[in-house]
Amino acid sequence: MEQTKQLQLLKELCEIDGVSGCEGKVAQWLKEHLPEDCTAHLDARGNLICEKKGKQTPKNKMMFAAHMDEVGFIITYIEESGLLRFDAVGGVDTRVVVGKPVRLESGKEGVVGAKPIHLQSADEREATLKYKDLYIDIGAKSREEAEKFVQQGDFATFRPQFVQMGNCICARALDDRIGCLLLLELLHEELPYDITVVFSAQEEIGGAAGNAAFAVKPDIAVAVDTNTAADVPGVAASKNVCALGKGPVLTFQDKGGFADRDLFRMAKEICKEQEIPYQIKNQVVGATDAAGMGKAAAGCRTLAMAVPTRYIHSPSCVFDPKDLEPTAKLLSAMVKRFGEM
């Protein structure tokens, strides 16, 4: 796909609020953009399960998954003053939260506040703030006024942005709307083998992709996600996980488990044969939907691949669009190679 169109679709995806457990609008957008020869349905957990026929039925059933949800917040209490207490949905460092603009489910906008630094003690200034120290200010003067826009249990997200920043894009929710875009593109291709694509729910809080895998019963499952690139000052090359602009990231192990060794080897072979730039994740950190998919039903062989992205789980994720083409090329080649197994 031409990159300008790619980025326009990605912008639309990133602007949709889809905190874990509230991915319905993302699923609807994806469903509206599926090719006509693709069938799709939502399961009980909110996964969008899509079936695409290829020229042949492979010996090993293949499933590819990318999660629709993003990290965010949930409202836990409304103060008499109209300020909102909240907690994180997924892993969000409080240091990237204070002072940031947010948007409630109702569309009402607010900002995350904390005790002013001028009023903090020396010890407080040295300590990392906890969520109990934070609140969302929507400009309401009382609980009654706030309740016109929000209720306990409502979600909130970082306010959307999508900015061209040099050769990179800075946006909210790139984790994992990038993966969703790539799998949407894959479904639009003429494929050599049948595949199942799952746009999964709730990955940031434990994952629902395992439920989809239980229903699909794949032999091979590939998670398509983002990896936290730490190619920044103060991080040794051996610790930077991955880097922007160097192609898709292949994972041999993360906190969710091991990659299937044959699939990992074959993915590297594909890259070398087709001159696809790629990199190996050099830290055992994080986890993907591969963990849940691999454990579902009788289990399956799994692999995780990703697009390198800086500052994930923040309002300002950053990635290099030139990593999209080699990742898409690798995905297409995987369908052919894994289908021939």
Q: Which of 158, 185, 212 is the last residue of a domain?
A: 158
Alpha helices in 15-70 (DSSP H): 24-32
- Is the domain of 93 the same as that of 153? yes
> What is the C-alpha separation between 28 and 42, in angstroms, rounded?
10
Structural domain containing residue 95 = 72-158
Per-residue pLDDT tens digits of the chain, which is 341 residues long: 788 899 999 999 999 999 999 999 999 999 999 999 999 999 999 999 999 999 999 999 999 999 999 999 999 999 999 999 999 999 999 999 999 999 999 999 999 998 777 777 777 777 788 999 999 999 999 999 999 999 999 999 999 999 999 999 999 999 999 999 999 999 999 999 999 999 999 999 988 999 999 999 999 999 999 999 998 999 988 888 999 999 999 999 988 889 999 999 999 999 999 999 999 999 888 889 999 999 998 899 999 999 999 999 999 999 999 999 999 999 999 999 999 98
Q: Which of 158, 187, 204 is the last residue of a domain?
A: 158
- Is the domain of 22 the same as that of 126? no
How crowded is residue 228: how many other Cβ atoms within 10 Å of its Cβ?
Answer: 21
- Is the domain of 108 the same as that of 254? no
> What is the C-alpha separation between 264 and 252, in angstroms, rounded?
7
Query: Is the four-CA dihedral 286, 289, 292, 293 of positive or negative sign?
Result: negative
> Residue 46 maps to which CATH number?
3.40.630.10
Active site residues: 203
Question: What's this model's pTM, rounded to 2 decimal places?
Answer: 0.94
The neighbouring-strand residues paired with 103 are: 109, 157
> Residue 110 maps to which CATH number?
2.40.30.40
